């Protein structure tokens, strides 16, 4: 049973009343079920076993009150202390949760090792704009070859930077593994949509034979129950991407 | 006497031999005298009283060996432990120095207060692209009005977010103050270059009467000896910006 409550509830949108503040001692994560950034917070809460209430937000018709949780109206936002504390940004919330719950710390305690995890995440981050670029190129053929080449380059870089079983540098997944997984998973979904095209990433044995280390890594990550509990099934992810590519994202896809 | 040694030495460039690794127990910062990002590391080392050797790098003719210090060849890079440890990124190096030297910690110890400082720095960061946009608009008039408007907007935002004497939220400067100061200072230099134009920021009582809190803030920051030791004199900064705008930056300006 997952510690995440309400992951699969419908989005709140403009006109919907604001939820009551979270009860004392409880955590709330504002989310969108298919958002890779928000998923970082869900995975971290799940792996650290922090009971959390999840509220999904309609990202095109945002409720006015949501801007009091996140000044830009983006997800994720973490809310606690009876609604008095808010933390935003997908790479910051996990570090904050490690600081609040050091007994389940995922980041290393050594300052140099910790800082290297932050810097490694930066080096992998090209995966995300490459995905969005490729998704754009599906809708608008202009620059398609260059945009697909960017995806290939980002995955080659990710393959090269994987020097152990996990990006933690050990045989156990760590901060970078949990945070980059959602971005890699978006390319997995897109590979299903584009499986009969020249998209350089394979949906079968994803990301395919050119990336033997990443293939093993991805299988290991997706098999972790706490990661699965914070993820949407492939069928829904692929369905969401299909509608997203048509310009009509359905944030409640599959519900 | 500043703890920063070698700030005003000429840049090393392609063809120059690599310096010997820093001695055991000593720190080195790779810098460019007019780079606002590198200046963040210098200010932090200066305020924390960490004796550091500064080596300046030619950013257009980079030495090959420099890519072993920073994989992208940018500044700043922090090197220590006899050349075995490297930390990069202007917002990461200061946090790392606070972790290594907690007795002179600048960031708050409370996790929530600390994370709010990181997020506040993000909210102020539009000052930097606004400066580069305005500098571009000086060279190429296209979009000049919009780019100057971006500077005004970034400074209005910075004025509104200053709710105490300093961005630390207290009467003592903190992490955000030290890190955003170099970016604000670049606009000060540019305001000198553009002082008889429609540039929305004043070089006199910088940034001018529309920004009373920032005006007081800037004067307070520039008067701190440790900040001044990590900064170039206004005359050199303005001279550098003038040549930068012509497309011929002189990294050794004033030496």
Band (pLDDT 50/70/90 cuts) for residue B18 is very high
B106, containing H or E segment: none
Q: Which residues of B touch A85 (CB under 8 A)?
A: 112
- Closest-CA residue of chain A to B88: A119
A87, containing H or E segment: strand A85-88
**Nearest of A247, A128, A234 to residue A188 by alpha carbon:** A234
Q: What percent of chain B is modeled with pLDDT above 90?
A: 95
- Closest-CA residue of chain A to B96: A111
User: Does A91 have pLDDT greater than 90?
Assistant: yes
Per the structure block, which two tokens stand in for B190? 């540019």
User: Does B68 have pLDDT greater than 90?
Assistant: yes
Q: Which of A91, A100, A111 to substitute to test the interface with B, most B CBs within 10 Å?
A: A111
Cβ–Cβ under 8 Å, residues B178 and B44: yes
Tens-digit pLDDT profile for residues B165-179: 999 999 999 999 999
Marked catalytic residue, from B7, B11, B35, B176: B35
Q: How far is B84 from chain A (nearest CA, A)?
A: 11
User: Does A202 have pLDDT greater than 80?
Assistant: yes
Per the structure block, which two tokens stand in for B5? 């040694």
Q: How would DSSP label each residue in A4-39?
A: EESTTSPPB-TTSPPPPPPPTT-EEEEE-TT-HHHH
User: Does B49 have pLDDT greater than 80?
Assistant: yes
Marked catalytic residue, from A35, A59, A88, A214: A35
Residues in B lying within 8 Å of A, measured between beta carbons: 71, 85, 87-89, 92, 95-96, 99-100, 111-112, 114-115, 118-119, 122-123
User: Does B212 have pLDDT greater than 80?
Assistant: yes
User: Does B196 have pLDDT greater than 90?
Assistant: no
At B84 the pLDDT is 97
Band (pLDDT 50/70/90 cuts) for residue A138 is confident
Report the C-alpha gap between A91 and B248 in whole angstroms. Answer: 38
Give residue for tokens 């959390």: A52
Cβ–Cβ under 8 Å, residues B78 and B53: no
Q: Which residues of A touch B89 (CB under 8 A)?
A: 118-119, 122
Task: Compute, in degrees rounded to 10, the torsion defined by CA atoms A215, A201, A162, A105.
Answer: -80
At A1 the pLDDT is 73
Q: How far is A92 from chain B (nearest CA, A)?
A: 7
Q: How many residues does chain A have?
A: 255
State whether B119 and A89 contact (CB < 8 Å). yes
Mean pLDDT of chain A: 97
Tens-digit pLDDT profile for residues A5-57: 999 999 999 999 999 999 999 999 999 999 999 999 999 999 999 999 999 99
Counted across chains A and B, CB pairs separated by less than 8 A come out at 40
ipTM: 0.95
B27-31/A52-56 β-pairing: unpaired
Cβ–Cβ under 8 Å, residues A96 and A152: no
- Closest-CA residue of chain B to A88: B119
A74 is catalytic: no
Rg for chain A, CA atoms, rounded: 18
Phi, psi of A146, deg, nearest 5: -65, -40
Per the structure block, which two tokens stand in for A171? 């045989």
Residue B124: CB partners within 8 Å, gap ≥ 6?
A: B157, B158, B161, B167, B176, B180, B183
Report the C-alpha gap between A243 and B245 in whole angstroms. Answer: 46
Q: How far is A71 from chain B (nearest CA, A)?
A: 10
Q: Which residues of B touch A87 (CB under 8 A)?
A: 112, 115, 119
Report the C-alpha gap between B48 and A48 in whole angstroms. Answer: 34
Phi, psi of A210, deg, nearest 5: -75, -5
State whether B115 and A95 contact (CB < 8 Å). yes
Cβ–Cβ under 8 Å, residues B15 and B68: no
At B63 the pLDDT is 98
Per the structure block, which two tokens stand in for A174? 């760590």
Per the structure block, which two tokens stand in for B173? 């400067």
Strands (E), chain B: 4-5, 27-31, 52-56, 77-80, 85-88
User: Does A139 have pLDDT greater than 90?
Assistant: no
In whole angstroms, how far apart are CA B181 and each of A174, B31, B40, B240? 34, 16, 8, 18
Q: Which residues of A touch B88 (CB under 8 A)?
A: 119
Q: How far is A63 from chain B (nearest CA, A)?
A: 22
Q: How far is B72 from chain A (nearest CA, A)?
A: 10
State whether A115 and B123 contact (CB < 8 Å). no
Nearest to A111 among B100, B111, B114 (CB): B100
Q: Which of B93, B111, B175 to substitute to test the interface with A, most A CBs within 10 Å?
A: B111
Domains of chain A plus CATH, in order, are 4-104 (3.40.30.10), 111-223 (1.20.1050.10)
State whether B92 and A111 contact (CB < 8 Å). no
Q: How far is A99 from chain B (nearest CA, A)?
A: 6
Taking the CA of residue A138 as centre, how many other CA atoms within 13 Å lie in the half-sphere pointing to its CB? Answer: 22
Cis before B207? omega within 30: yes
At A232 the pLDDT is 98
Burial class (CB in 10 A: 0-12, 13-18, 19+), B225: exposed
- For B86-116, give one letter per residue: b (16+ CB within 10 A) or e: bbbbbbbbbbbbbbbeeeeebbbeebbebbb
At B138 the pLDDT is 85
Nearest to B96 among A88, A96, A111 (CB): A111
Band (pLDDT 50/70/90 cuts) for residue B139 is confident
Per the structure block, which two tokens stand in for A107? 């980041």
- Closest-CA residue of chain A to B98: A111
Q: What percent of chain A is modeled with pLDDT above 90?
A: 95
- For A11-42, give one letter per residue: b (16+ CB within 10 A) or e: bbbeeeeeeeebeeebbbbbbbbbbbbbbbbb
Per the structure block, which two tokens stand in for A111? 């300052």
- Closest-CA residue of chain A to B109: A99
Mean pLDDT of chain B: 97
């Amino acid at each position: 049973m997952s510690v995440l409550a309400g992951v699969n509830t419908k989005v709140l949108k403009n006109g919907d009343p604001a939820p009551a503040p979270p009860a004392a001692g409880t955590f709330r994560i504002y989310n969108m079920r298919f958002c890779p950034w928000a998923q970082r917070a869900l995975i971290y809460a799940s792996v650290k076993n922090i009971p959390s209430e999840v509220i999904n937000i309609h990202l095109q018709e945002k409720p006015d009150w949501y801007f009091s949780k996140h000044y830009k109206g983006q997800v994720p936002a973490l809310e606690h202390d009876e609604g008095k504390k808010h933390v935003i940004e997908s790479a910051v919330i996990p570090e904050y949760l490690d600081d609040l719950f050091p007994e389940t710390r995922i980041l290393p305690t050594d300052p140099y090792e910790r800082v290297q995890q932050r810097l490694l995440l930066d080096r992998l981050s090209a995966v995300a704009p490459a995905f969005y670029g490729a998704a754009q190129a599906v809708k608008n053929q202009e620059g398609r070859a260059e945009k697909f080449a960017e995806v290939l380059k980002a995955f080659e870089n990710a393959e090269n930077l994987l020097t152990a079983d996990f990006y933690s540098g050990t045989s156990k997944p760590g901060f970078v593994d949990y945070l980059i997984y959602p971005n890699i998973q978006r390319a997995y979904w897109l590979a299903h949509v584009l499986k009969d095209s020249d998209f350089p990433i394979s949906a079968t044995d994803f990301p395919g034979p050119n990336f033997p280390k990443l293939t093993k890594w991805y299988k290991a990550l997706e098999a972790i129950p706490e990661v699965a509990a914070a993820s949407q099934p492939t069928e829904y992810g692929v369905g969401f991407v299909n509608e997203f590519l048509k310009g009509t994202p359905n944030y409640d896809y599959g519900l």
